[in-house]
Structure 1
């Protein structure tokens, strides 16, 4: 894996903290040059640049609101210009926004959840597509789905779970569409991953403790668990994996 990713050019969205940060870190440690997008907070991206520089690799970061097409296009162009192209795209941006039950969901909230979890992925992937097509050894796209997209999630996550289910279908469809260009498209579906902004804000300790009781491996996941899997999928340059979703949930959901 290390040799396959050496000097590959990776663009990661939402790398301020959590899964995005640890994915960028893992890709750097595997030998990638990286460009990391952030929306809130420069501390994580600055740490990633320092790590890459200490290893003799290249890294930079840029801000964008990825629901905005112009800002997304500029961010992707900046990434491609800095890296000299894009071999790996990690669509990490997403979020639940808030827990709302069916009777509480208004039009603005519904649109926001769709924009954050789906429109961002559309905008980024479209913007990066010419550079991915131009990658001489093929390219890898990895999308962040969720166990909620498989199982429907906990109460109050109806809108979020719906969009994450759509990410699974997006991944399968895009794999069929981009295969002729040597672009592999896969997804990961994390379960309970503690230590991330998502669960720090939206999951109570009581809820996480109860979930852990049902996990066969007996623990919650970490961002590093997810990052290792994404790094594997990104590295499959001579592989045959495309259109797949890898579940990372400790065995609580199996299909």
Structure 2
């Protein structure tokens, strides 16, 4: 049976790789993003359905859910670094804007989307949210939002388990091939981040996509309420 997969933030980076992986398995993939041109281009290139939707907007998220009869896999990949505060803003207003942006894009986007499609999640389905190694180390407002994402996902797991749905977070380390750093990655920083890993290589969007594909497989039905760290050993758990 063909699965329906919804990927927020699916027009670039990790979200795009996730959408491509499920599309390769002949799933019915719906990807979302905020910008019409990138959503339409990516959907066309991958042969999937694209919907322009800001996952932090309750009305647009509800409208998106109304277009879906059922959701087998939800991947909350929308997020990123906070937007820059307006020039000349007072310090506390700048601080508030930064934290509001981080929480909105990295936490509330997942909360709202999941709530919107919750009654459409199928028995045997899964919710996957993309976290970050920043939740474990010097992540500022972004890391705090990703840490909150993990706490929320654990609570969600307990709520969804009785209806046969799992909920997990994938926490990537340094991943190349995305626009996450907005052009701010230097050669020295790249080398330092790679040196932190055990396998001496950066992650790729495909690494994260394959982990998401596994979590949505029949072999992962007893994995729920977890944060899976995919970082080449840059951050380890015991």
TM-score, with structure 1 as normaliser? 0.84
Which residue is equivalent to 2:30? Answer: 35
Which residue is equivalent to 1:216? Answer: 198
Report the alpha carbon displacement of residue 181 of structure 1 after superposing the two structures with TM: 0.9
1:190 aligns with 2:172: yes
Which residue is equivalent to 2:66? Answer: 77
Q: Distance in 2 between matches of 1:200 and 1:236?
A: 37
Among residues 133, 151, 166, which one is paired with 2:148 in the alignment?
166
Runs of 4+ in structure 1 off by over 6 angstroms are none
Q: Distance in 2 between matches of 1:45 and 1:233?
A: 27
1:236/1:199 CA distance change after superposition, 3 Å: farther
Number of residues of Structure 1 aligned to a counterpart in Structure 2: 231
Which residue is equivalent to 2:78? Answer: 93
8 Å Cα contact 1:38-1:45 kept in structure 2: no
1:64/1:98 CA distance change after superposition, 3 Å: closer
1:1-150 superposed matches below 5 A: 7-40=2-35, 42-43=37-38, 45-52=40-47, 59-78=48-67, 80=68, 84-97=69-82, 106-132=95-121, 135=122, 137-149=123-135
8 Å Cα contact 2:196-2:233 kept in structure 1: no
Q: Distance in 1 between matches of 2:177 and 2:187?
A: 12
Report the alpha carbon displacement of residue 47 of structure 1 after superposing the two structures with TM: 4.0
User: What is the aligned-residue RMSD (CA, Å)?
Assistant: 2.1
Q: Distance in 1 between matches of 2:104 and 2:45?
A: 32
Q: Any idea what SS the aligned residue of 1:42 has? A: helix
Which residue is equivalent to 2:229? Answer: 247
Report the alpha carbon displacement of residue 121 of structure 1 after superposing the two structures with TM: 1.0
1:65/1:201 CA distance change after superposition, 3 Å: same
Report the alpha carbon displacement of residue 231 of structure 1 after superposing the two structures with TM: 0.8
Structure 1 segments unaligned to the other structure (5+ residues): 1-5, 53-58
8 Å Cα contact 1:38-1:62 kept in structure 2: yes
TM-score, with structure 2 as normaliser? 0.89
